[in-house]
Structure 1
């Protein structure tokens, strides 16, 4: 089924057909050219999505607690020796934590990660999720973060290319840089809406 995603701040739109981008343009033009298509209206701007260079650190080196564990572990990601101790105590937590970590990445507009994943369960989770894999920069930008600075935007969207993008509730790219990836309202991977902000 085809879906047209429109963005209020910049008036842009992308038509998704399956896992591919069928058209790019202004919302007005694409709505007129494709009557009857399902339309999703979003605030903010359309981007190609972010690459997070800290794939291994976020998915293998961080424990993302299950909400049912809030009394024991809280809700914030846990790193360092404490995360390693949790994984040693119960290795089955590795894959489940990675699944929750992927959801956190999607919630920050991340559609690609960099860095070598060495844990088989984590690699399988990342591959199944549809995350793309990119080259890791020679110098990492700073501390491990779901919203690293500087941000790394993927190359521009193209007709016929993969339907992989993110929408941020900001008026401009400059504001996205200023406010960070926490402004994400929607992430699409392989044509599927994998994250929708509340």
Structure 2
């Protein structure tokens, strides 16, 4: 099935001129076309249309995914928040007190990957050594890349943290034939995107599938 994703503004990649009313045509797990929504809708009248507020961009890359998912614990809401609070837990001493098991790491990683998807993340860097965490990451749809030389000392769930511009966090370019992975943010432009952060994400698509949608 063909699906047209359109937003008020489309930024196809780093250095690309913003396209008002731009759209991405998706067929299966690939991008079949990029351009003005009116043109693509006229050329493919039977395509399903999804209209999003804000800016549509390539999906984002987070550095240090192994630190975020194998050395950070995400409390299970609502079952653990009374005891542990809602903030992620890191630090050797704090994790030692939790008596982490592989199964518990796997459950935490699933919650962590959902937080990443909710921030428009489609790829992470890192080397995962806990089998249950590795499984959670693979099942999430996130692309795993080798550890980056520029990994920050304290990785953040926000891909824009430590970046000079929003486009520095883009992973890939939106063009025909490319994998269908992108995100939409409820902001006016890319400049506001960096200022407000990735929690403004309203939708994340990986492999042509809508894996996050803000309710």
What TM-score results when the alignment is normalised by the length of structure 2?
0.85
- Aligned equivalents of 1:30, 1:84: Cα separation in 2: 55
Match of 1:169 among 182, 186, 199: 186
CA contact (8 A) 1:115 1:136 kept: yes
CA contact (8 A) 1:60 1:117 kept: yes
Matches within 5 A, 1:25-104: 25-67=35-77, 68-81=79-92, 82-86=94-98, 88-104=99-115
Residue segments in structure 2 that go unaligned for 5+ positions in a row: 10-19
Moved >6 Å (runs of 4+) = none
SS of corresponding position for 2:169: coil
| Aligned: 1:110 with 2:121 | yes
RMSD (Å) for aligned C-alpha atoms: 1.6
CA contact (8 A) 2:102 2:132 kept: no
After superposition, what is the alpha-carbon deviation per residue over 1:151-179, rounded to whole angstroms, capped at 9, x for unaligned?
Answer: 52112122112111111111211111122
Match of 1:189 among 206, 210, 213: 206
- Across the two proteins, how many residue pairs are aligned to each other? 197
Match of 2:162 among 126, 149, 152: 149
- Aligned equivalents of 2:70, 2:36: Cα separation in 1: 40
Query: 1:142 deviation in Å?
Result: 5.3
- Aligned equivalents of 2:21, 2:152: Cα separation in 1: 31
Q: For residue 7 of structure 1, what is the aligned residue in structure 2? A: 7
Query: 1:84 deviation in Å?
Result: 4.2
Q: For residue 131 of structure 1, what is the aligned residue in structure 2? A: 142
CA contact (8 A) 1:51 1:134 kept: no
CA contact (8 A) 2:102 2:130 kept: no
Structure 1 residues 57 and 84: alpha-carbon distance in aligned structure 2, compared to 1, 3 A threshold: farther
SS of corresponding position for 2:179: coil
Query: 1:6 deviation in Å?
Result: 0.5
Structure 1 residues 114 and 156: alpha-carbon distance in aligned structure 2, compared to 1, 3 A threshold: same
CA contact (8 A) 2:127 2:146 kept: no
